[in-house]
A and B are shown apart, each in its own frame.
Chain A
Amino acid sequence: MSWILLVEQALNGLQFGVMLFLMAAGLTLIFGVMGLINLAHGSLYMVGAFAAAAVAAATGSFVLALIASLAAAALAGVLIEATIIRRLYDRDHLDQVLATFALILIFSEGTRWAFGSFPLFLDRPEALSGTVSLPFGIEYSRYRLALIGVGLAVAAGLFWMIAKTRVGIRIRAGENDREMIAALGVDISRLYTLVFALGAALAGLAGALIGAIQSVQVGMGEPVLILAFVVIVIGGIGSVQGALVGAILVGLTDTLGGFLLPKAFALFLSPAAATSVGSSLASMSIYILMAGVLLVRPKGLFGGA
């Protein structure tokens, strides 16, 4: 049944989208509050995945592995924020790009030195293996379904935190006017460290969760980082809602494009040609989506005027 396959692909797209959101939320918050473009965000994702794989191998517990990924990524985030990133807030974007590019080189090679070039494997927890039966006879991976649930729960928690809590109010105030909230007695540098650690922890969590589907290896962070950039450009840099909408759009376009485009071209091309044209177009589809959005709204869907 083709439509069952379609629903499964749509769920895969949603799962990919919510994981992208975990990455994009941190990037967009860090940009919104501190005005920093952080290429090393993908390295924090990798740190989370490696920490999870190492702890899972030592203890066998997936929950401990997730906690380790959050802690390790947040710690790495605090460390680089306090030593390097802090000096970059007042610099122009070129300096930020280069310094964080340098950080990627250091993180990647450092990890390769510590763990070697071979990929590590992180097993899914026993309770979430196998498939689950959804209505209309759809069988779907239990783990991927759990990822959608976790992703949406984190998104809801993040929105609640930003809308309702004192920290969230300070973050929003920091986006609007840094000098003003500093004048009102908020310790701005602690707020910056906190936001950076929060973004880092979300990236690390995403790394651990995805690490159980794919392999854990050096360089795993950068493809996701670039997609997360596309997400926040589509959504509007600095907007968490925009990041959520953008992430789900990109997730669905990427997954459904790879599934539907070859089939669409098969209607009027030979099967071999349809597969090759369809799959090359599919791999470009999210960038075409991004170009389209920017043509209509140069500041993204949720960006300021």
Chain B
Amino acid sequence: MATNDIKGGRTLISVFDRKRFSVKIGYIVCYLIAIGLAVSTFYPLLWVFFGALKNASEIFVVPPTFLPKTFLWENFAKAWALYEIPKVVLNTFYVFFGVIAVKLLVLSSAAYAISHLKVPFKKTLYLIFLATLILPFFAYIIPAYLVIHNLRLIDTYWALWLPAGADSFSLLLLKGFFDDIPKDLFEAARIDGASEIRVLRSIVLPISKPILAVLAIFAFMNVWRDFIWQQIILPSASNWTISVALYWHSLNQQGATKPYNIQLAAMLLGTIPPMIVFLFFQKYLIGGITFSGIKG
């Protein structure tokens, strides 16, 4: 891992700088900040992990214990079965991949058109796209549900996939990225007779990998975070995602009769798969993403 880190080249502080005392201090401060942040993010997870191993009443013991007195590994097995972890995690990934596919298809072509093609009333259209950012989803959840219902998409993943194509934040990022791609890069291809679809597919998208990775992360976060809409759209438990399952078993009055240690175990089990995926994707997230602010 360490070798991987050095290849990043120079940054703000140069090798020469680091010989100076005050800079050394600053460098140490950077480390302290990083360590502080790491502790703040890992510690609660450790707490969840140990909480999951405790016996149900130990979680509330005063003064609280950090290390469990008992190691009830079977809590994980119970949570695994009760929350149907394999099924809901697979469902969640299924939702996620569909969401990514739709976003890629719909938003990249739209962003490309806005950025590099002739479109009538381009600016106005773009602003109308962006305007959806300022209306909270809950304000129009009923009409949104009616649309899904009338399209007969209730209890199908299409109800999550298709609306994912209307994502102005991603559109904004993509368009900003596309704007910065030098025009001559695809002019040459156009002269060679490549169609626009081809230009988009074999020139624009490959160099956009970093921004696409960012979109993927945001999409991932949305799929993992949203539960209110998913819960309404997916009534059948066989379709539930991890969010809906956690909601049902932990917060819903009818379902929430699960001991806290089981709940904590399920929470952890729901976090591990994305963690693995992230470790995997790490290398795509390093590298030159640039995008500019809002233009116009």
A and B part of one assembly? no
User: Which residues of A pack against B, CB within 8 Å?
Assistant: none
User: Which residues of B pack against A, CB within 8 Å?
Assistant: none
